[in-house]
């Protein structure tokens, strides 16, 4: 991973603007999941650290823009750039990181570059769908999963596929692994938003629903409820939840086992990913750690 951090530093230095270096230094790097995946899959390839750095810059850019769009004041437990330096700066920093990443991407094989580039179009489309879908209560599970795939799984899928291409490994099975890892990761994140407390989350619990996001446990709940309860649930969408309303939602989720049902889907996707990668212990271990984050 040190080689990835060195590449990231080199790319930022090459932008040659003190303000960018200063702002970038304030960002928390996060788990670097995508970079770790690339290094594991293409560990012997000399360009793997650069590819990993490119993908991390794209991811960082997408989060900068996402925090502007979501008007989020914190990111990874720190104040967001839009909170400290304003939305204009956050957008511009995102633009610089994103275009620097693409400038570097052109040195790669056409198929590798295309894989990453296409995923960024998909992720941007997914973000737009997410915002649109939050405007009203969405009860369509397939639409939700399509959006989730585009917004969060495509870049992980592309990272896995592109590094497999680089390493001469099976691109399709690695792509499937990345896609399902991304999807189950996000489904578990959605579950944790409901089951964890504010201190663990670093933001209020059940914040997704307040922000308009009808995640799987809410979608399943809607379909399980009678008309009267459906009406009450929909009326709470995007509202600040009183503790009574929050408890009502949670009690019904327990009654109809909608958290368990959501977890079962994450588990199924994770099992499929495991099946695709059964000979690779390290990649299987990543899946297991991720699934265990739940509850
Ligand atoms: C987080 O979602 C958002 C994303 C993973 C993708 C955002 C993508 C864009 C803004 C497209 C623009 C892309 C570039 C490269 C400039 P979330 O709000 O559900 O999660 P959060 O809780 O982490 O904010
Ligand atoms: Mg967000």
Answer for the pair 262, 187: CB distance below 8 angstroms, yes or no.
Answer: yes
CA of 269 to the centre of ligand 1 (A): 22
For 75, list phi and psi in degrees, rounded to 5.
Answer: -145, 125
Tell me how far apart the alpha carbons of residues 142 and 149 are, in angstroms, rounded to a whole number: 10
Tokens 């511009």 locate to 92
With a 6 A CB cut-off, is 185 part of the ligand 1 pocket? no
- Looking at residue 200, its pLDDT comes to 81
Tell me how far apart the alpha carbons of residues 255 and 128 are, in angstroms, rounded to a whole number: 33
Tokens standing for 220? 């399943």
Alpha carbons within 13 angstroms on the beta-carbon side of residue 67 total 29
Query: Which domains, from first to last, does the chain contain?
Result: 1-107 (1.10.600.10), 128-295 (1.10.600.10)
To the nearest 5 percent, what fractions of the chain are helix, strand and coil? 75, 0, 20
Q: pTM to 2 decimals? A: 0.94
- Looking at residue 204, its pLDDT comes to 81
27 DSSP 8-state letter: S
- Looking at residue 246, its pLDDT comes to 95
Q: Which atom of ligand 1 is nearest to the CA of 70?
A: 18
Q: Which atom of ligand 1 is nearest to the CA of 213?
A: 19
Q: Which atom of ligand 1 is nearest to the CA of 94?
A: 16
Tokens 């990272």 locate to 159
pLDDT per residue as tens, the chain (295 positions): 899 999 999 999 999 999 999 999 999 888 899 999 999 999 989 999 999 999 999 999 999 999 999 999 989 889 999 999 999 999 999 999 999 999 999 999 999 999 999 999 999 999 999 999 999 999 999 999 999 999 999 999 999 999 999 999 999 999 999 999 999 999 999 999 999 888 787 778 899 999 999 999 999 999 999 999 999 999 999 999 999 999 999 999 999 999 999 999 999 999 999 999 988 999 998 888 877 775 4
b/e string for 111-140 if b means 16 or more Cβ within 10 A? ebbebbbebbebbeebbebbeebbeebbbe
- Whose CA is closest to atom 8 on ligand 1? 62
* Distance from the Cα of residue 231 to its chain's centroid: 31
Closest to 41 measured CA to CA, from 266, 276, 290, 294: 276
- Looking at residue 294, its pLDDT comes to 58
With a 6 A CB cut-off, is 60 part of the ligand 1 pocket? no
List all residues 6 or more positions away from 289 whose beta carbon is below 8 Å from its beta carbon: none
With a 6 A CB cut-off, is 217 part of the ligand 1 pocket? no
Closest to 151 measured CA to CA, from 193, 175, 187: 187
- Looking at residue 2, its pLDDT comes to 94
Tell me how far apart the alpha carbons of residues 55 and 38 are, in angstroms, rounded to a whole number: 9
Tell me how far apart the alpha carbons of residues 84 and 152 are, in angstroms, rounded to a whole number: 26
């Amino acid at each position: 991973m040190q080689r990835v951090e060195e590449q990231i530093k080199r790319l930022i230095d090459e932008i040659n603007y003190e303000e960018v270096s200063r702002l970038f230094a304030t960002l928390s790097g996060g788990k670097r999941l995508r970079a770790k995946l690339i290094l594991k899959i293409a560990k012997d390839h000399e360009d793997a650290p650069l590819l990993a750095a490119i993908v991390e810059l794209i991811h960082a850019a997408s989060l900068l823009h996402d925090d502007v769009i979501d008007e989020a004041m914190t990111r990874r437990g720190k104040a967001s750039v839009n909170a400290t330096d304003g939305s204009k700066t956050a957008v511009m920093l995102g633009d610089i990181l994103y275009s620097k990443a693409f400038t570097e991407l052109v040195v790669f094989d056409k198929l590798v570059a295309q894989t990453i580039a296409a995923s960024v179009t998909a992720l941007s489309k997914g973000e737009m769908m997410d915002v649109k879908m939050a405007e009203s209560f969405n009860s369509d599970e397939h639409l939700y999963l399509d959006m989730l795939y585009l917004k969060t799984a495509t870049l992980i899928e592309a990272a896995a596929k592109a590094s497999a291409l680089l390493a001469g490994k099976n691109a399709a099975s690695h792509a499937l692994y990345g896609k399902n890892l991304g999807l189950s990761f996000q489904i578990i994140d959605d579950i944790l938003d409901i089951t964890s407390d504010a201190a663990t989350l670093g933001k209020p619990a059940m914040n997704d629903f307040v922000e308009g996001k009808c995640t799987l446990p809410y979608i399943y709940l809607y379909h399980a409820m009678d008309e009267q309860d459906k009406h009450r649930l929909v009326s709470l969408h995007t509202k600040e939840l009183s503790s009574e309303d929050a408890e009502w939602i949670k009690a019904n989720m327990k009654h109809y086992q909608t958290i368990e049902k959501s977890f079962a889907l994450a588990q199924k996707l994770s099992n499929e990913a495991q099946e695709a990668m059964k000979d690779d212990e390290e990649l299987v271990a990543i899946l297991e750690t991720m699934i265990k984050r739940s509850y």
